[in-house]
Structure 1
Amino acid sequence: MESLDTLLTEVRDCRFCEGLPLGPKPILQVGSPKARLLITGQAPGTLAHESGITFNDPSGDRLREWLQIDRDTFYNDSLVAIIPMGFCYPGRLEKGGDRPPRKECAPKWREKLLQHLPDIKLTLLVGSYAQNYVLGKGKVTDRVRDFQDYLPQYFPLPHPSWRTLAWVKKNPYFEDEILVVLREKVKQILQVR
């Protein structure tokens, strides 16, 4: 198995998505094999693409609020690894929203990266792309509601974009019950106050 540093150099040098609107710019957070929480989302948005920092946007703010962890903890790669389904911003759809992550990215890199993260205690599957890749086809609402079925390894979550605000209002159990469990699990895993 190649070293983590070598693998990360290969990932960051990847130009497979040369034709993307903003060009290739792989963004992920893997730096320490000691990380205990893995966040698997969709793909970087435009703000993350610009900064080079994953979840560096309002959806990241919402996700950190859901987890009740601060930016320093979230971006501490000895605690949290972030491996999206696609590492590069995929571009916009004509009708709005971002394009799906490139299908080639996760199969090419995901398992190789996971081999270097032996201490992961919980993987957050954020949104349909992550859930469908890891768990197979299914509905986000069903998986989030039935999150206990996927523990202790996985915790399915909706994507924390502004579009999810209406979903949260329709599904009050998410904030009233599920986030309570999620926050406790994250607190235990990361051993933060």
Structure 2
Amino acid sequence: MAPLLAEIRACRLCAPYLPDGPRPVVQASTSSRLLIVGQAPGRKVHASGIPFDDVSGDRLRGWLAIDRTTFYDAERVAIVGMGFCFPGSSRGADLPPRPECAPTWHPRLLPRLKQVQLTLAIGQYAQAGLLRERRGRSLTDTVQAWRTHLANGVLPLPHPSPRNQAWLKRNPWFEQELLPVLRDEVAQVLR
């Protein structure tokens, strides 16, 4: 795994398209039991090189009911984006992950994560990449079908960004029904 992670971190495939330059961010181990697949690093994560090292990460760790030490233990938790580099932003929002990234690296990385018992698909890009035709017409449809997806080992979640506060208010079932199950599943997987 170490040579592959070094190769990913040295990737410059999208360099011409990245306004802040490439800085691939990934966390994984062959012993990881929880796989978190997100969109792509944001500007703060690009600066630190640490996945979910921002307010979205704080909220995500709260949703999972795990501390930073557990979250950043690659032996237990793998964190992979649909894009490994910050794609830039436009009009105050991050751009979509670069389309070259996941097709280049996921086929080489994900099969090595043989101990993964639960995959979290965070946001629409991760859900499109992982669930493909099984996802709903919208993020809400996909997340509402969480029981079906969980039976297949994938739990779709909205992005934990503060920008999604309105979505959370419109969908109280997320915190009432899904979060308790999410916390139980994560606790079981990480025991």
TM-score normalised by the shorter chain: which range applies? over 0.9
Given the alignment of the two structures, is residue 106 of structure 1 paired with residue 106 of structure 2, yes or no?
A: no
1:92-125 C-alpha deviation (Å, 9 max, x unpaired): 11x2200000011001001211122110001000
Which deviates more from structure 2 when the two are superposed, residues 173-182 or residues 110-119?
110-119
Q: Counterpart in 1 of 2:186? A: 186
State the partner residue of 2:47.
Answer: 50
Q: What is aligned with 2:80?
A: 83
**2:89 aligned residue:** 92
State yes or no: 1:66 paired with 2:63: yes
CA contact (8 A) 2:35 2:78 kept: yes
Per the alignment, in what secondary structure is the counterpart of residue 155 of structure 1?
Answer: strand
Between the aligned partners of 2:109 and 2:129, the Cα distance in structure 1 is 16
> Which structure shows the bigger proportion of residues in helix conformation?
2
- What's 1:22 paired with? 20
Deviations 1:46-70 (A, max 9, x none): 1100000010000000000000100
Contact 2:5-2:26 within 8 A present in 1 as well: no
1:13: how far off?
1.0
Q: Residues 123-147 of structure 1, C-alpha deviation per residue, up to 9 Å, x if partnerless?
A: 0000000001111263110111110
User: Is contact 2:33–2:117 with CA below 8 Å preserved after alignment?
Assistant: yes
Alignment-mate amino acid for residue 46 of structure 1: R
Distance 1:182 1:36 in 2: 14
Structure 2 residues without counterparts, runs of 5 or longer: none
**Which residue of the partner structure matches residue 170 of structure 1?**
170
**1:151 is the counterpart of 2:147:** no
Please tell me the residue identity of whatever aligns with 1:186.
V
Comparing 111-120 with 126-135, which one deviates more in the overlay? 111-120
**Over 3 Å off, 4+ runs:** none
Q: Which runs of 5+ in 1 are unaligned?
A: none
User: Structure 1 residue 160 and structure 2 residue 160: aligned?
Assistant: yes
Q: CA RMSD in A?
A: 0.9
TM superposition shift of 1:33: 0.8
Following the alignment from structure 1 to structure 2, what is the Cα–Cα distance between the partners of residues 188 and 79? 12
- Secondary structure of residue in 1 paired with 2:89: coil
Deviation at 1:188, TM superposition (A): 0.5
Q: Percent identity?
A: 54
* Secondary structure, aligned partner of 1:69: coil
* Structure 2 Cα separation of the partners of residues 39 and 75 of structure 1: 11
Q: Give the CA deviation at 1:84.
A: 0.4
Three-state SS of the structure 2 residue aligned to 1:166 is: helix
Structure 2 residue matching 1:83: 3-state secondary structure: strand
With the length of structure 1 as denominator, give the TM-score of the two structures.
0.94
